[in-house]
Structure 1
């Protein structure tokens, strides 16, 4: 029988997988080398196709897959993920990368605040400390390179972080399985992209990269990150989104030979050490609670 802590452990593992998958999103977008709406068209189209194939195969094999959109709550979450996709892609092409990753890091703070206000889930002191340390890491990474950027792009990045935090909070409150909901939600951006490509034209030099991103990487990332809130708190889920902040520059360095700055290496180390340390603390804390709750029978 599943215990609360075993569920928590499951949530940490699932969310970590999703966070790691998400780290290659930006490098794959760059490898495709195309116009923004064309990239969005291929990315979302591949994700929708992969989602429907996986869901249908699951049913045909005799399983009971989660609903694509579980009721009105699922519809609300789908809308939030759709808005997050649109605002994120808009921000990618309208502000600097430094501004983007810095602002997206506020996802953690938004999730903690929303969970505290609406779910009465007061973060544990250790989680608050971890969040603070991770924000320090992000500030170090981008602090010496943040430019003024474009106000519109910055606002889009802020909106994307807020929409994700709202989706995480609602999922946590409902307890519903939203893994497929986050994936099918890209239907809306896909339709918008079709309309825009019809006006500005299609341009993608290496479509294979973006198709792989949409058909493989995004389903893994979105499904896992959207499933995580069923088992762990919103702030904990949001912290795994920060993996992209530190690891995406590493992949860009390996692929495009863009050497990370000293600040990026220092800030990234803080993020990784804090995230791993917090997760290990959560696991150890759960073991102690289970051990204390064990009923000891007289011999």
Structure 2
């Protein structure tokens, strides 16, 4: 193969990687709109139906890609995969609840703090070095969060904010667990999280007397989010992340944060407060600055994605 042909193939691969990761961000950005369109189902019912669809979708995808049972792959990873799966269940639960009770923009911006939480957890647990620029970005992010939540003093606002931060922590634990297990493959762990979520939400719904049968609208939206918003987004991100450096992945993932509030404004008329806009701008600046200052030409494990 000539050098010209080789360069062209690399450029095409990089272009497709950009498109795949951006498309993943677009799909993930619809989570707020999808949950807002739910009429009656609560967080546990939504998560149950979404997890059933997600697990079935990932079972098919992983089986076709590897020719192996996804559960076998997840079990081979051992304890790290179990921790990662349980962390995602907590992230899913907190994410769905927070979007139900606080503005979508606030929730998505709080989710975006997951990389900073992962950096701190990696430093404490795995003894990974945290760059000076990342520490600066973390402190800026803390200030940004303080600005965003300063106007919300109601019980619902406080609960929703804590749930969103809990979701971000769940994503961070998921990332650190994958690093702990030295796994570059996240789909089996996500598949395992779907199974855990099915078991846990079924038990919760049963003990709380919640119906396991949803309306056709709520069931369809929940399962659609499992396949298209979460599942397809993860597959596209996994394919695209193999060809892109960490900085580009971080910047492209901001499509989720930026587009999420746009969809609910466009279709539902939900606006953002000036505190959210100010704090969100500072947070996005911290994320972008950290990504650009630490640009390295190698893929990395994802640190935030859909709820």
TM-score > 0.5, shorter chain as reference? yes
Aligned to 2:156, what secondary structure does the other structure show? coil
Q: Residue 33 of structure 2 aligns with which residue?
A: 27
- 1:76 matched to 2:88? The reply is no
Structure 2 length normalisation: TM-score?
A: 0.68
Q: Does 1:203 align with 2:203?
A: no
Could you tell me the TM-score, scaled by structure 1's length? 0.70
Q: 1:146 to 1:214 in 2, by over 3 A?
A: farther
Give 1:38 deviation, angstroms. 2.7
- Give the structure 1 partner of residue 182 of structure 2: 175
Cα distance in structure 2, aligned partners of 1:182 and 1:189: 10
Judged with a 3 Å threshold, the aligned counterparts in structure 2 of structure 1 residues 262 and 129 are, in CA distance, closer, same or farther, namely same
Alignment of 1:212 with 2:217, yes or no, is no
The change in CA–CA distance for 1:262 and 1:203 in structure 2 (over 3 A counts) is same
Which of 181, 187, 193 matches 1:185? 193
After superposition, the C-alpha distances for 1:102-145 in whole angstroms (9 at most, x for unaligned) are 76565344322211112222221222223333344444333333
Instruction: Give the C-alpha shift of residue 218 in structure 1.
Output: 0.7
CA contact (8 A) 2:51 2:197 kept: yes
Separation of aligned partners in 1, 2:124 and 2:23: 28
Contact 1:81–1:164 (CA under 8 A) maintained in structure 2: yes
Is the CA contact 2:148–2:280 (under 8 Å) kept in the aligned structure 1? yes
Q: Please give the residue correspondences for 1:214-233 in structure 2 after superposition, counting only pairs within 5 Å.
A: 214-222=226-234, 224=237
User: 2: CA distance between counterparts of 1:239 and 1:116?
Assistant: 23
- In the alignment of these two chains, the number of paired residues is 271
Q: Distance in 1 between matches of 2:261 and 2:152?
A: 13
Distance in structure 2 (CA, Å) of the matches to 1:155 and 1:278? 24
Q: Cα RMSD over matched residues?
A: 4.2
Q: CA offset at residue 54 of structure 1?
A: 0.9
Q: Does 1:275 align with 2:287?
A: yes
Change (3 A) 1:120 1:243: farther
Structure-2 change in CA distance of 1:135 and 1:153 (3 Å): closer
C-alpha displacement of 1:152? 6.4
Contact 2:39–2:218 (Cα < 8 Å) also in 1:
yes
**Unaligned stretches of 5+ residues in structure 2:** 1-13, 299-307
Deviation at residue 213 of structure 1 after TM alignment: 1.1
Q: Distance in 2 between matches of 1:142 and 1:154?
A: 7
From the superposition, tell whether residues 139 and 117 of structure 1 become closer, same or farther in structure 2 (CA, over 3 Å): same
Pairing 1:252–2:259 present: no
**Shift in Å, 1:175:** 1.8
Q: How does 1:1-299 map to 2 (within 5 A)?
A: 21-36=27-42, 37-59=44-66, 67-72=73-78, 73-92=80-99, 96-97=102-103, 104=111, 107-149=114-156, 156-176=163-183, 177-197=185-205, 199-201=209-211, 202-204=213-215, 205-222=217-234, 224=237, 247-283=259-295
Instruction: Tell whether the 8 Å contact from 1:137 to 1:267 is kept in structure 2 after alignment.
Output: yes
CA drift of 1:26 comes to 2.1
- The unaligned stretches of length 5 or more in structure 1 are 1-8, 288-299
Shift in Å, 1:203: 3.5
Q: What CA distance in whole angstroms lies between the structure 1 residues aligned with 2:26 and 2:278?
A: 19
Separation in structure 1 between the aligned mates of residue 251 and residue 153 of structure 2, nearest angstrom: 21
Deviation for aligned residue 1:20: 5.1
